[in-house]
Structure 1
């Protein structure tokens, strides 16, 4: 039995086009830097459209690369290829996440619930059960 809870994370990139993202790339501030901690399940069309309307292209100095190993997003991914990221200005999003963690990453994909434009990414704290 999996236990899920709602948690706020930082969307620092998406997979797919910025105006109709296919999935979000979740991040959290860990040890003073924005680190990738997982990805979402594929977004439904309505959610992709709503989120896409709120995303802005990343400015200079974004901490993430444009390409990452697929295992950085999903530890069960046997694909050794890289995944192309569409970097965005970080925004806070609420996700439903399995409470099981592997180190500082979500063990399973998260489910996008909604954007949280009233929150600023710098205001999020790292969950206490993460290193």
Structure 2
């Protein structure tokens, strides 16, 4: 079962000018940006659209020093580029979440939400 919801882009895989997938987050009740999951591989059109809306992260990004798993049951980590956590996207996400509140399956990007700011995104809630 899937739901449509919003998330904040905090990082990408692939080049910033042509992202392959988006790493998504939501703020928790303490105001910390927490990782909630990533998207499926972006289409070329979606990649081009999103690339024009992203900016490289400056110092003090909330995910500096983090590593992200390439998938369930693997020790392989993703090579990511941190971005300014300003872009909100609408995604189709699985309602199944782990104990940390992360989506268990990749989310499907629907569209960028340039009409929303990160403060409009629902807070991370634990299942």
Distance 1:88 1:69, change over 3 A: closer
8 A contact 1:70–1:79 mirrored in 2: yes
| Worse-superposed segment, 78-87 or 40-49 | 78-87
Q: Which runs of 5+ in 1 are unaligned?
A: none
Q: Does 1:84 align with 2:79?
A: yes
Q: Does 1:95 align with 2:94?
A: no
- RMSD of Structure 2 on Structure 1 (CA): 1.7
**Residue matched to 2:120:** 123
- Partners of 1:18 and 1:11 in 2: CA distance: 12
- Partners of 1:39 and 1:47 in 2: CA distance: 15
Q: Which runs of 5+ in 2 are unaligned?
A: none
Q: What TM-score does the superposition give when structure 2 sets the normalisation length?
A: 0.88
- Partners of 2:35 and 2:25 in 1: CA distance: 4
Offset from partner CA, 1:25-60 (integer Å, 9 cap, x none): 010112321011111110011100100111111122
**Residue matched to 1:36:** 35
**Residue matched to 1:9:** 7
| Worse-superposed segment, 33-42 or 59-68 | 59-68
